A = this chain, B = another copy of it.
Amino acid sequence: MRILLAQSAGFCFGVKRAITVAFEAAEQHERLTSLGPLIHSPQMVRKLEEKGVEVREHAEDIDDGAVLVRSHGLSHGEIEALQAKQLTIVDATCPFVRKAQKYAEQLAAAGYFVVVVGEKDHPEVQGIVSYAGKRVAVVADQAEAAAIRATRIGIVAQTTQSLDNLREVVAACLKQAQDLRVFNTICDATALRQQEARRLSAEADLMLVVGGFNSANTTRLAQICREIQPRTHHVETAQQIENDWFSGVEVVGITAGASTPEWIIRETVARVESLAKQMV
């Protein structure tokens, strides 16, 4: 059995940076609380808990110590609530996400109706929306975009959206808008990871996609693989891999989401290697 490991598997720039910031802050501050999970990897969040980093879901639940702003960013209101309590803020927001927030703010200040292309319930999107004033809408696709009525439309995208979807939304808005401004805030890392996943899925007899079940980009990655290779499994850890998936398999492709730690990818590869030996 041969293993093909994606070069783009695992941490993107923003996640790497967030983890470095978090571990450094855990050393410096006696009490450090993360508002929401730092990244969408329950295993990495547990490692941080071992270093004393607690997770709280709401700003109201934090009264002292330092607060860690996660990679997806926080809403304007949450940041203000933390500032009002004079808590020390340790900002691990991905710089690309911060850029999208700033562009949304800039568009709103210039009087545009702001359209955020993305998933309504994702914390990154909720953070971006909070900077876009009151005239704002989140749209998942061109059908939702077609319902917007405004002559001046400003568009930003969740950093993990696909370029094709952004293009379709832009085309739909162009019918309404006389003045359309688009900040292409899509991060290349996602597109590259998806491209490589497509290539591997075409070569492999079985695909393993490793990453948090709560990670939107990992879930999307698994969908993309499944469209090409129906024998695709999304796992959070190596322990979830089952022996009987591998009957008749000669080539195994492995990729991982942007928030999947290196050690979990290594464990997955090791597990498949040991299975391969058993099968010979």
- Interface set of A (CB-CB < 8 Å, partner B): 163, 166-167, 170-171, 174-175, 177-185
- Counted per complex, copies of this chain come to 2
Other than the given A170-B180, A171-B171, A174-B182, 4 more pairs (CB < 8 A) read A163-B174, A167-B170, A167-B174, A177-B182
Min CB–CB distance A191 → chain B (angstroms): 10
Min CB–CB distance A97 → chain B (angstroms): 15
Label chain A's interface by main secondary structure.
mixed
With A and B bound together, what is the CA distance between A166 and B185 in angstroms? 22
With A and B bound together, what is the CA distance between A179 and B177 in angstroms? 17
Q: Which chain B residues lie closer than 8 Å to A167 at the CB level?
A: 170-171, 174
Check if A166 sits within 8 Å of B170, measured CB to CB: no
With A and B bound together, what is the CA distance between A31 and B194 in angstroms? 68
Min CB–CB distance A156 → chain B (angstroms): 11
Q: Which chain B residues lie closer than 8 Å to A178 at the CB level?
A: 183-185
Q: Which chain B residues lie closer than 8 Å to A181 at the CB level?
A: 179-182
Min CB–CB distance A223 → chain B (angstroms): 23
Q: Which chain B residues lie closer than 8 Å to A183 at the CB level?
A: 178-180
With A and B bound together, what is the CA distance between A181 and B177 in angstroms? 11
